[in-house]
Amino acid sequence: MDISGITQLLLGWVFKIIGLGQQARVLCHRGFLPTNTDCYFVNVTNLSLKRDLEVTHVWFECRSQVNVLNHQRPVPRRLQPDESWETWIEAERIPQEFRENFHRLARVRLSNGRIIKSKLNRNVPSEGFVPGS
């Protein structure tokens, strides 16, 4: 790693410690819409202490990108600190061979160019409202 890489790493840690860095969490789970449509839900939470962040793109990384273009949940979407937002895609849009690991395939791009990979959301209520509605 060169000097500029080390500098960026150190600045990232400093910004994180003092709350100026952009931090986000992306979680994914399977669920059903009220119409009984099987979907994968992608939840983005702004973990930054003091900074807004902007979600510009959401997709699933399969053979090729399967973009989440949900007109009820358009991007870009700006999130304030501690705010969460969620969108979904119909499960049938994801190729069958990728569905077993769907929770690892969601990607979110922030306005600063950073891409965040999803993890399984293990703490989902059995029913309720979608964050950010």
Delimit the domains of the chain by residue range: 22-120
pTM for this model (two decimals): 0.82
Q: What is the pLDDT of residue 95?
A: 97
Tens-place pLDDT, residues 48-70:
888 999 999 999 999 999 999 99
Residue 87 scores a pLDDT above 70: yes
One of 2.30.30, 2.60.40, 1.10.357, 3.40.720 is the CATH number of 22-120, namely 2.60.40
Alpha-carbon torsion, ordered 6, 2, 118, 60, to 10 deg:
150
What percentage of the chain has pLDDT greater than the value 90? 72
Report the C-alpha gap between 7 and 1 in whole angstroms.
10
